[in-house]
Amino acid sequence: MGPDTPLRDAATPAASTGRRRLPIGAEALPEGGVDFRVWAPRCRELTVEIENLRPIPLSAEAGGYFSTQVDEARPGMRYRFRPDNSDQAYPDPASHFQPEGPHGPSEIIDSRVFRWTDAEWRGRRRDELVIYEMHIGTFTPQGNWQAAQRELQVLAELGITCLELMPVADFSGSFGWGYDGVDLFAPTRLYGRPDDFRAFVDRAHALGLGVILDVVYNHLGPDGNYLKCFSESYFTDRYKNEWGEAVNFDGPDSGPVREFVLANVRYWIGEFHLDGLRLDATQQMFDASPDHILAAITREVRDAAPDRNTIVIGENEPQEARLVRPAERGGYALDALWNDDFHHSAMVALTGRREAYYTDYRGRPNEFIGAAKYGFLYQGQRYVWQKKPRGTPALDLPAESFIVFLQNHDQVANSIAGQRLHALTSPGHWRAMTAHLLLMPGIPMLFQGQEFAASSPFLYFADHRPGLDRAVRRGRREFLGQFPSIAAPEVSDRLADPSEAESFRRSALDPAERQTHATVVALHRDLLALRRYDPVFGRRPARVDGAVLGARAWLLRFFSDEGDRLLVVNLGPDLTMRPAPEPLLAPIEGHSWDILWSSEAPEYGGVGTPPLYRSGYLRIAAESALVLMPAARDRENRKNRRQRDG
């Protein structure tokens, strides 16, 4: 809004909060006009400046709120709030769109205009989930909602059932991961308009894909955060936060702050039809009140979508099991937590590197059996890297309470050049571990491009103003310095600059690699089909046990009335089970084992699978995984004779 913009008068009756869907923000009214409401206890007076209208004062309410209804305001108009006749006006703390970024004016958005087609959608159950983490800015070369939407059918056909979107709350600059968001209600203008986001979700639902959003409620970004211009109480110095000021969930004036966050939860679930949330770094969400904000958030998700399945996932570095226990047992009732322990063990097993936060893992078979049966590996044992106990007891939780993964945005970027795991190990190892990931109990998660062994890296990138970019660059180098292999001068000098546009550009996926790397796609597609449609793997939760078969080999046995399944993983050399004093290897009475699936099948890029039995003993090829099923013994005997005589 420039100084020469023509102005019109507008009526300013007091706002009525009873008709509002959310307690804050600008809401277009069905009968016309717009209702504005903002919490601004720092202000004595507050006016809203809408393009082409004269400044309009807001009426003060109890508790530091201000509101007004502007009959002549319309969706599409841009506006700012000016406190106490100051020299500067600010965007709406609950802005639904920032077309010029966090420093520009807010835009009035009418969410009712979008025509949804997902009335019959009921979400995905927890036992159906196969999650796909994606960053809209790099998921396609175009980096927007519309381009991403065109790729959704491919993911559905692969066997993905739920998309987990990295944060989309608007942030400064022209690229970033999204974890420095400052406008929590405004989908970033970098990927399109809010209705483009809605169209993405609507299309996902039509294809049977749930959509959950990664949200950051533990801090706000360092650039473009104007909340303190309205109230100092949004943040507190009573807790130390790793990324800036802690959000005030339990101190003086914390009620409206909690309302702000809970309104944001309802906004995403209600107005974008999202199927749940992934909560970033929950250990940095400090709350000593009787009703922890995590429990309140989970309830809000459920209440906002009572007619469909929703999921709330937490990232929690200290591995606190209470987050997923039900409220009646003192928990916060989240559905699942990210399981870093599984990832760290897999990285050590596949790369041999044990440095920094991989120090306390050996990558041994018992770790993969433990993760399959019990989730976290550390449930209170002392942790050398942190010099203190890690985790809390979680043996009472089903394995389905944990998200397991071989890659995610953080872990891929925490390498020398943003390398993906398939580039850090052998093809056989990688195929075998992929089988374990996609068939084990728990909820598997893939990171974008993992399903076709993307050649593009995923780097840390963040576009910040001069000065702040240097601090980010220095901080990133210091963080990666915990890895001795990366801290070496000849390596650290080659680290990608987060502020360079090239770091962002290089991280974009090339969808054409789905065809050029078709064997990898087939591997993931067939494993996910087994997980979903096999009469044993498809019955979840299933009863599972496991056994160590060798220094680098193990099995998981899935029990079922339909006939058991064995998943055998061998990361070592050829293994012949002679002798085989392991009860879980015993076949069902009257049967022997037969190969149902092999990671070494040529269609997956493998070298072929040798016969399962050698002189009556099970044989597992090097660097491979097999899925075994019962076969009638006379059938197996005929097969052995053919192999012997042929």
Q: Is 310 exposed, middle or buried (0-12, 13-18, 19+ CB in 10 A)?
A: buried
Upper half-sphere CA count for residue 567 (Cβ side, 13 Å): 26
Q: Which of 223, 271, 280, 534 is catalytic?
A: 280
Close Cβ partners of 384 (under 8 Å, ≥ 6 residues apart) = 359, 360
Two tokens, residue 189 = 């203008």
In one letter, which amino acid is 640? N
Judged by DSSP in three states, 548 sits in strand
* 53: β partners: 8
Residue 436, helix vs strand vs coil: helix
Q: How far apart are CA 67 and CA 58, in angstroms?
A: 5
Cα 78 from chain centre: 32
Determine the 3-state secondary structure of 311 from DSSP: strand
Q: How many residues does the chain have?
A: 646
**280 among known catalytic residues:** yes
Q: What 3-state DSSP class applies to 551?
A: coil
Q: Are 92 and 26 a contacting pair, CB within 8 Å? A: yes
The two structure tokens encoding residue 57: 């004062």
Nearest residue to 531 (alpha-carbon basis) of 463, 444, 453: 444
CA distance 480 to 485: 9
Strand partners, 623: none
Q: What is the DSSP letter of 399?
A: G
Residue pair 501/412 in contact (Cβ under 8 Å)? The answer is no
Largest pairwise CA distance in the chain = 97
Contact 217, 297 (CB under 8 A): yes
Written as one string, the DSSP assignment of 218-261 is S---SSS--GGGT-GGGEEEEEEETTEEEE-SSSTTHHHHHHHH
Contact between 426 and 116 (Cβ < 8 Å):
no
For residues 377 and 398, give the distance between their C-alpha atoms in angstroms, rounded to a whole number: 14
| 465-469 contact pairs (CB < 8 A, 24+) | 465/172, 465/173, 465/223, 468/222, 468/223, 469/498, 469/499
Active-site annotation holder among 107, 195, 315, 636: 315
According to DSSP, the residues that pair with 39 across neighbouring strands are 65
Determine whether 315 is an active site residue: yes
| Closest CA relative to residue 272, chosen from 409, 109, 157 | 109
The secondary element (H helix, E strand) that includes residue 558 is: strand 553-559
The owner of tokens 């406190």 is 83
What are the counts of helices (DSSP H) followed by strands (DSSP E) for the chain? 17, 30
Active site residues: 280, 315
